[in-house]
């Protein structure tokens, strides 16, 4: 089954404790993105990757890091989480070859206390 997976689905952590949210896709897509979704603000892009070892900032990159060492994986790293990073996070992928249709993972609900 073609899908984007994320782990963990739910995470409660404390300020300053480094964490990683994993994302994996099995569709051989080139493009992958991370979004966060907040009430009243909608979906906003954090980072994206156009291929292995190629990443760039989205609209709200502050406080986040990403890496793309393999085509299928695109982890999101919060090295020192803060309460304002409490949000619902989505990973998405697209073929990137003339198609802009993005397919989303199930989401990770992060709470930072």
- DSSP per-residue letters across 5-38: EEE-SEEEE-TT--EEEEEEESS--SEEEEEEEE
51-80 residues near other proteins, rule: CB under 8 A: 56, 58
* 1 binding other proteins? (CB under 8 A): no
Nearest CB to other proteins, comparing residues 31 and 85:
31
CA dihedral angle for residue 24, residue 25, residue 30, residue 34, rounded to 10 degrees = -50
Selected from 1, 40, 62, 69, the binder of other proteins by CB under 8 A is 40
Selected from 5, 11, 13, 50, the binder of other proteins by CB under 8 A is 50
């Amino acid at each position: 089954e073609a899908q984007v997976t994320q782990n963990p689905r739910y995470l409660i952590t404390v300020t300053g404790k480094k964490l990683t949210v994993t994302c994996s896709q099995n569709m051989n897509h080139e493009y992958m993105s991370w979004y966060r979704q907040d009430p009243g603000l909608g979906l906003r892009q954090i980072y994206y990757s156009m291929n292995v070892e190629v990443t760039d900032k989205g609209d709200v990159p502050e406080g986040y890091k990403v890496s793309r060492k393999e085509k299928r994986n695109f982890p999101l790293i919060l090295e020192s989480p803060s309460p304002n990073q409490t949000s619902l996070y989505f990973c998405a992928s697209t073929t990137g070859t003339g198609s802009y249709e993005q397919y989303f993972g199930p989401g990770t609900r992060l709470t930072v206390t």
